[in-house]
A and B are shown apart, each in its own frame.
Chain A
């Protein structure tokens, strides 16, 4: 089989093999790319040089290891994705996405800072460093506000807060959570949008495709099994998605946009993009997994 570059093969990191990972494996096999699926739950790595100190993942068949020249991170755990990418990069392995990109995308505040730095439209945002201070931050933004955890996805633990009384209840819950990070409160203005958002998949400097994601609730990104329809990639949407991807460091990314009264906003950028709904919406007209593989081969 062909190798993605001189000296070694491609590692695909994933602890859960879902529709997306199966599509990527199939795309790699169609192209006869040599790859190893590494389950991050079994990965160990030595930091020193020498025999047996590579990236390895124990399996039923024994240890699977490198040397790898490239890695594609498809890990669902943000912590494992970030540290796996760090370990790989520490051994000179080119990763898609890079650890720094994973770190930025995995933290909503860091994402917002990069989007702001790039001058891109995002909802007005305030951050409070304690739940108590968040009440004043919410007042300053103006109700309703959306309270989100810094880390997390699928709209999980996000709350739409309509007034100070609701804010007090949400902050009491946040204060009771054991993780100190949950006590950092990230608040955004609520954007009155249609019952949909827009998912744009970007691979390098290419927009692969976009889809509308519909939901009856306000958290359109929470409906993982919700209805998706193809979204035309206008120059405005495509340009905004590419700029957002570039702002966080680039790679294979899922850019989420919402349509506000004054135009589109960038809501977040995802480093391990799920694309089952988008792929189903586009059918045979788009092959997201193949586009991801193409980008990995070009980037490493």
Chain B
């Protein structure tokens, strides 16, 4: 499924099955994106990395 990048409006391809909170990267502007809805599919800029993030 092809969606539109909320940052640059370029096309972003999402592989099925699309999952809520899934992370994708815009191939045009390299923005990190998050799937914020699946019915219908919506994209937003993903949250910035936080200090306690990691493995």
Contact = CB atoms under 8 A, between A and B. Distances in A.
Given A16-B46, A60-B37, A60-B39, A78 B53 contact: yes
A193 interface: no
A270 interface: yes
B48 interface: no
A17 interface: yes
Main secondary structure of the interface of A (DSSP, over half): loop
Interface residues of A, number: 29
A22 B50 CA distance: 22
Given A16-B46, A60-B37, A60-B39, A153 B20 contact: no
B22 interface: yes
Contact of A272 (B19, B20, B55): B55
A179 interface: yes
A14 interface: yes
A197 interface: no
Contacts of B19: 17, 21-22, 25, 37
Interface of B: 19-23, 34-35, 37, 39, 46, 50-55
Interface of A: 14-18, 21-22, 25, 37, 39, 59-60, 76-79, 106, 151-154, 156, 179, 254, 270-274
